[in-house]
A and B are shown apart, each in its own frame.
Chain A
Amino acid sequence: MEVAVFTLGAVIVLSGGLGVLLARNPVHAALFLVQTLFGVAVLFVLLEATFLAAVQVMVYAGAIVILFLFVIMLLGVDRADDLGIEPIAGQRPMAAVVGVSLAGLLATVLLVAVDGLTGARGGTPLGDAGDNTRRLGEALFTDMVFAVELTAILLTVAVVGAVALARRLSGPMQPLPVVAIAESDDQPTEADDEPAGATGEDS
């Protein structure tokens, strides 16, 4: 039974990964990514990390992929990626060689390493599966409370940065237009007096 579930999860994960790799349309790639994330959630359940499986589905499949789809929708999907042309000669075969070598190297290192695990265990035993959520919560909000607060700061900074980056610039604060700087070195003072929208709408 366990072998069957693992095989199913592995097939879901690997086929989804191949789909992301090969899909021409970014929307299809995002949907294949959802498939991979669900497969990983299945494996998490099999490893008795039940809370992480739920978080995986909600945060990754529910939030991050939706974010991807929103951006795809915002930018338009009319242009499918042309996989036929190769901009750098020999890029694909070399990437395949690198990928196969990396897979072999990682698998070898991990499999050799897991054969005789040494070193001290951490202070938080795993417990049984039904206890998983409570133990995670206790560990996060006692031993790791400082790290949790730091991640909160990180998320806040990320949100503020994203808003600042993606804001459609209008009004008194004008952006520094990269192209305009390159083209108009000889008239640096006039840019300040231009009305809103004169430089920010050149997309």
Chain B
Amino acid sequence: MVVTTGWYLALGAALFSMGAVGLLVRRNPLVMFMCVELMLNAVNLTFVSLGAELGDLGGQLSVFFVLVVAAAEVVVGLAVIVAIMRRRSGATVDDLSVLGG
């Protein structure tokens, strides 16, 4: 038995769905961010495995930019969370409806 690209793609799909379910179910904004990281990692895995299948470096190069955008997103997102939590401690995402009109 040999590991084909399909195995990696199936694993990536499973991991992505896990992150999506977490984003739908959890209410702690920090844990929701972690679920976003799971989804980004699933996409990274897909990029690298397809790049290996095609014999192309482009997959690995894409992962770099995903990594940078993920880092920027985490930095800004966590700053927003800190700013919100400073104002109202213990808030879940359900409580944050200030912009809801």
Contacts and interface: CB of A to CB of B under 8 A. Distances in A.
Decide if A and B are genuine partners. Answer: yes
Interface string A61-93: 001100110011011100101000001000110
A203 B89 CA distance: 8
A127 to B, nearest CB: 7
Contacts of B13: 102-103, 106-107, 110
Contact of B57 (A37, A111, A135): A135
B56 A124 contact: yes
Interface in A1-52: 2-3, 6, 10, 13-14, 17-18, 20-21, 23, 26, 29-30, 33, 36-37, 40, 43-44, 46-49, 51-52
B87 A49 contact: no
Contacts of A107: 9-10, 13-14
Contacts of B76: 158, 161-162, 165
A68 B30 contact: yes
Contact of B49 (A47, A67, A124): A47
A111 B18 contact: no
Contacts of A60: 37, 41, 67, 70
Contact of B9 (A29, A75, A110): A110
Nearest to B93: A87
A154 B69 contact: yes
Contacts of B8: 6, 43, 47
Nearest to A32: B34
Interface size of A as a range: 35 or more
B25 A3 contact: no
Contacts of A13: 11, 15
Interface residues of B, number: 77
A114 B11 contact: no
Contact of B55 (A30, A92, A121): A121
Contacts of B90: 79
Contacts of B54: 117, 121
A125 interface: yes
B33 A68 contact: yes
Contact of A91 (B7, B24, B28, B38): B24
A147 interface: yes
Contacts of A79: 90
Given A3-B2, A111-B9, A114-B50, A71 B25 contact: no
15 contacts: A2-B3, A13-B11, A21-B22, A29-B30, A60-B41, A64-B74, A76-B89, A103-B14, A103-B17, A110-B10, A114-B5, A122-B57, A126-B55, A154-B69, A158-B75
Interface of B: 1-3, 5-22, 24-28, 30-31, 33-35, 37-38, 41, 44-46, 48-58, 60-61, 63-65, 67-76, 78-83, 85-90, 94, 98
6 shortest interchain CB distances as A-B pairs = A99-B21, A106-B13, A158-B72, A103-B17, A162-B79, A165-B79
